């Protein structure tokens, strides 16, 4: 298993984001591969970091593609990067 950092840049449509946020969080909360997620504070437009532990990049890309925010076009940019923690609680 490997770690992957996912960076979202959200749409500026705050009304749509607010409306869909419960489904977005419910979906993310159902994923065993999700280690942590949350907004990056003080970013404009809004951004978030999602941290996954999964077998490969393709599986993480599929998981984030199914996120209701992404499915409804509320993520303007999504970057998925392999991450190699060498120190701290995530180091393997």
Q: pLDDT tens, 17-34?
A: 999 999 999 999 999 999
List Cβ neighbours of 7 (8 Å cut-off, separation of 6 or more).
47, 48, 49, 50, 77, 78, 79, 81
The predicted structure's pLDDT at residue 45: 87
Does residue 64 register a pLDDT over 80?
Answer: yes
Structure tokens at 35: 């280690």
Percent of the chain topping pLDDT 70 = 100
pTM recorded for the entire structure: 0.94
pLDDT at 31: 98
Mean pLDDT of 66-77: 97
Domains, the chain: 2-83 (3.30.70.1060)
Alpha-carbon distance of 81 to 35, in angstroms, equals 15
């Amino acid at each position: 298993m490997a770690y992957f950092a996912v960076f979202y840049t959200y749409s500026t449509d705050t009304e749509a984001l607010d409306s869909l946020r419960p489904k977005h969080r419910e979906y993310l909360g159902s994923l065993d591969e999700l280690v942590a997620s949350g907004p990056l504070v003080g970013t404009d437009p809004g951004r978030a970091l999602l941290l996954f532990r999964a077998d490969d990049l393709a599986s993480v890309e599929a998981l984030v593609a199914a996120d209701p925010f992404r499915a409804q076009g509320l993520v303007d940019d999504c970057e998925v990067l392999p991450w190699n923690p060498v120190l701290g609680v995530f180091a393997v």
